[in-house]
Chains A and B, each alone.
Chain A
Amino acid sequence: MKSCDEIRKCLGAWVDGELGRDEADAVRSHVEACPACSEERRQLDRLNVSIKSVLAPQRPMAFEPFWRGVERRINEKNSWRDEWMDRLRGAFGRPNLAWSIPAVIGLALVLYSLRFWKEPTPRNNFAAVESIDAYGRNVALLRENETRTTVIWLYQNQEGDDETSGETSEQSPTF
């Protein structure tokens, strides 16, 4: 025999006519015999009537102006973006585990693999050097074809008066 708590959990469904016959009979018998649940049912009925009263508009809506609004939207040009949004909504409108799980897994794998994706140096890595000013020092510009490397090399002045720290280097690259 069901308790009042159990009955109240399905009271709404019973009032809505959504219970199977046996369950509905059990609820009805209980409600008829139980003053507390009977009061609960009365409140539920009152609530439903009140909700209907406050939510339902009193004035019927005229069709013609409404239809004109719909027609106006239809006649306005659709952008290609709207078409694509429709298709996307169609694909994703209803959650469907059958495809959403593999899609999410696939996406996660792709995004994870990006961590290991070394951004390669572009095929044409040559820099287009437009100007060089070495302030009187010797400078070399080298473009190496095999590795597609652009090198700008600043030679130390012969007097070794690079003003930085008095460092000197006897080494020059041999290109």
Chain B
Amino acid sequence: MKLPGKLLSKALLSSFLALLVAVYLGAAETASQAVKIKIDTILASNQSGEFDSRLKPLEKQLKVLKYKSYRLLKEESQNVASQGNGSFQIPGGRTLIVSPQDFHDQQIALKVRLQGNEKPLLDTTLKLQNKGNFILGGPPHEGGVLVLAIWATLQ
């Protein structure tokens, strides 16, 4: 006859394992070779007072820019290999190129270029927290400005 203690210990062990699996699935600290880059392309303007409900998670961050309206134009994600280049088409004939460099201490080093039709507009190198984001904005578009919210998540 099995003692209750054995049953309890087995149940505890299985729950612990379930928790470990959940943490593992949520965690991203692994030796990985790819970074998921997500770009939200947003049109910010003062032409109306509308706030696109799809941008709710970004609301506080976008309000920093103090525009009256924000509209999500496009959402795109790519898995980009370390040292590789992820290329994202931006309205107005522009291209955003993101290149993950390395990963250390929960920080992802990125090289980012905003490319115009013929010439680069901006190059930046930065370190972003894993699953973190930053905002790159300014290029004019349709009476407003383009705002790019850029996330990087280690895969």
Contacts and interface: CB of A to CB of B under 8 A. Distances in A.
Q: Are chains A and B touching directly in their complex (CB below 8 angstroms)?
A: yes
A87 B26 CA distance: 25
A103 B11 contact: yes
Point out which of B17, B19, B139, B140 has the most chain A C-beta atoms below 10 A from its C-beta: B140
Given A99-B14, A117-B26, A132 B127 contact: no
Contact of A121 (B92, B131, B142): B131
Interface in A91-150: 91, 96, 98-100, 102-103, 106-107, 110-111, 114, 117-119, 121-122, 124-135, 137, 139, 142, 144, 146-147, 149-150
A164 B116 contact: yes
Contact of B134 (A131, A137, A151): A151
A164 B92 contact: yes
- Classify the secondary structure of B's interface with A: mixed
Contacts of B65: 151, 173, 175
Nearest to B93: A164
Contacts of B94: 164
B22 A103 contact: no
A167 B139 CA distance: 9
Contacts of A91: 9-10, 13-14
B9 to A, nearest CB: 8
Interface stretch (A5-13, A15-23, A155-163): A155-163
A162 B140 contact: yes
Contacts of A149: 61, 64, 134-135
A156 B140 contact: yes
Contact of B131 (A106, A111, A122, A147): A122
B122 A99 contact: no
Nearest to A134: B122
A152 B25 contact: no
A118 B56 CA distance: 13
Contacts of B135: 149-152
Interface string B1-43: 0000001011101110111011001100000000000000000
A171 B119 contact: no
Contact of A155 (B11, B92, B130, B138): B138
B141 A127 contact: no
Given A131-B124, A149-B134, A99 B10 contact: yes
Interface of A: 87, 91, 96, 98-100, 102-103, 106-107, 110-111, 114, 117-119, 121-122, 124-135, 137, 139, 142, 144, 146-147, 149-156, 162-165, 167-169, 171-175
7 tightest A-B CB contacts, nearest first? A169-B140, A103-B14, A154-B138, A107-B18, A150-B134, A128-B127, A173-B65
26 contacts: A91-B9, A96-B7, A102-B11, A107-B14, A107-B18, A107-B21, A119-B153, A122-B130, A122-B132, A124-B132, A128-B127, A130-B127, A132-B124, A135-B121, A137-B121, A137-B122, A139-B122, A142-B64, A151-B65, A154-B137, A163-B117, A164-B94, A165-B93, A169-B140, A171-B67, A173-B145
